[in-house]
Amino acid sequence: MSDADPAQVSDRAVQRGQGQVGSLGSGNHFLEVQAVDHVYDEPAAEAFGLRPGQICVMVHSGSRGMGHQICTDHVRVMERVMPRYGINVPDRQLACAPVSSPEGRAYLGAMAAAANYARANRQLLGEAARRVFARVVGRRLDLVYDISHNLAKIETHRVDGVDKRLCVHRKGATRALPPGHPDLPADLAGVGQPVLIPGSMGTPSYVLTGVAGSPAFASTCHGAGRAQSRTQAAKSVRGKELRDQLEAQDISVRGASMRGLAEETPQAYKDVSAVVESAEGGGLCRRVARLVPVGVVKG
């Protein structure tokens, strides 16, 4: 992101990021080997480089501790200045400032720097996967798409018949550009943006594409979403038991801890197929391909 301003990133955030670049992280972050088991839209799948039976790797990781620290630092600043701008919020997590204010510009510059760090992080993870596949199976991996979510971007959208510049903050959402959008590269202009929607380590994931006329500023869900807290999930199954269940389904699982695996049990997530069907029915996206897990690495 060209508007990144590293000067707005604190020394503490830099320190946290230095030791974590090239790492997955914990929680719902993962590297998953998947197989394409169904194609819904053949022209779009072909444009994305996807075909039935193909093996893919999906990575979910971001700006790690650096991004978390950037958020913490700038939320504190915004909490202090909100009274100056006449802003009241019901929860400190909603702390904010006008986009054009010094505090708003500082945050956007730091957040863009975190997004660039996240992209570098995923590039390293992708390169590690490429080297393993090249060594073990003698085949190369080609990139389908790389995109950040939990990100605010200045974009132009039509509101009440008028084009307006908006700050679109996608939290728990991801961008889904429609066919013909000017920000798409030429090879995707006719089909729209690839949208990567993970399910859980025991359920399918989806590749979608954006659609014209989206009522959500060219956005859709970015995953199944949790149905249980991590504490509830850990109480419902033991990590070793879950690993045995998944391996009985021919899904190989590797995790940093058994507790971490239990917290991410498939039962802790909503039905991703129902979530995607709802998003598609709401005019936010359309299905291109479904992928099923073969092997999962949890940080």
If you search the block for the tokens 């509101």, which residue do you land on?
A: 159
CA distance 269 to 222: 13
Residue 199 among known ligand-binding residues: yes
Residue 171 among known ligand-binding residues: no
Residues paired with residue 33 on neighbouring β-strands, in sequence order: 57, 295
Asked if 183 contacts 177 with a C-beta cutoff of 8 angstroms, the reply is yes
Residue 222 among known ligand-binding residues: yes
Residue 32 among known ligand-binding residues: yes
Residue 201 gets the label, from left (phi > 0), alpha (psi -120 to 50) or beta, of alpha
Active site residue 181: no
Residue 225 among known ligand-binding residues: yes
Asked if 268 contacts 298 with a C-beta cutoff of 8 angstroms, the reply is no
- How many other C-beta atoms lie within 10 A of the C-beta of residue 266? 20
Residue 172 among known ligand-binding residues: no
Residue 200 among known ligand-binding residues: yes
CA distance 114 to 191: 29
Residue 102 among known ligand-binding residues: no
Residue 68 among known ligand-binding residues: no
Residue 116 among known ligand-binding residues: no
Q: What stretches of the chain adopt beta strand conformation (E)?
A: 30-39, 55-60, 151-159, 162-170, 173-175, 194-197, 205-209, 219-221, 252-255, 286-298
Residue 212 among known ligand-binding residues: no
- How many other C-beta atoms lie within 10 A of the C-beta of residue 159? 10
Residue 31 among known ligand-binding residues: yes
Burial of 289 (0-12, 13-18, 19+ CB in 10 A): buried
CA distance 10 to 29: 24
Residue 148 among known ligand-binding residues: no
Residue 223 among known ligand-binding residues: yes
C-alpha angle 78-81-84 in degrees, rounded to nearest 5 = 145
- Active-site annotation holder among 38, 157, 169, 222: 222
The residues assigned a catalytic role are 222
User: Binding site: residue ranges?
Assistant: 28-32, 60, 149-150, 198-201, 205, 222-225, 298
Q: Which residues are annotated as a binding site for Mn(2+)?
A: 29, 60, 149
Residue positions in the annotated binding site for GMP? 28-32, 149-150, 198-201, 205, 222-225, 298
